[in-house]
Amino acid sequence: MNFDKYADSYDAGWKGTKSARFYNDLIREVEINTGDRVLDVGCGTGTVLYYLASKTDISGFGLDISEKMLDIAKEKNPGFEFVSGDCVTLPYEDGSMDVIMACMAYHHFPDQKRFREEALRVLKPDGRLYICDPRFPWIIRTIFNTCFKEAGFHTTKRNASDFVSSGFKVEKLTKDLYVQVLSLKKDE
């Protein structure tokens, strides 16, 4: 998918009270401490980092494949570091991040297993990973996964199982009608 062509209008779909509520609800779910190094994989226009920074003082890092999305993220979050890259070769040192986020991005990752391995490598020993992804009823998920071969929509149970088999432990699992949030830690 070419996200560059959606960059200029991307935030328009996320404006208003419903999206603010979504982000504020998400921020309540994550454990962020002052000074944490937070990486947002598939950061898009940097909105998640923007909301996290409003909660506490963090060092923010964003990674996305879209240069245009990153340009907007840099404007929105001066002082944070944004780089172009993909989810299967995270350009960060081993054990360098306190928190990794992937919000509404995980289902786009072409190699989810490789991302899980990379997240495990980049997180500090007590690091936390948060996956926020759509939670569709089975019929919609089946249609998406059939029509769009690159779609990676899975059940909450399957996502949790995949992360556990990759070396994470599930700390908390939150789900509502359309969103699932997996709160994970390295299983040391």
CATH number of 130's domain: 3.40.50.150
Of 182 and 167, more confident: 167
* Range from 119-123, 155-159, 163-167 carrying the lowest mean pLDDT: 155-159
Measured distance CA(104)–CA(97) in Å, rounded? 20
Number of domains in the chain: 1
d(CA 22, CA 5): 24
Whether the pLDDT of residue 66 is over 70: the answer is yes
Which residues are bridge partners to 37 per DSSP? Answer: 59
User: Are the CB atoms for 101 and 48 separated by under 8 Å?
Assistant: yes
The pLDDT of residue 38 is 98
Q: Which contiguous run of DSSP H or E holds residue 18? A: helix 17-29
pLDDT above 60: residue 182: yes
Domain limits for position 145: 3-186
Region 145-159 average pLDDT? 65
Mean pLDDT of 125-138: 80
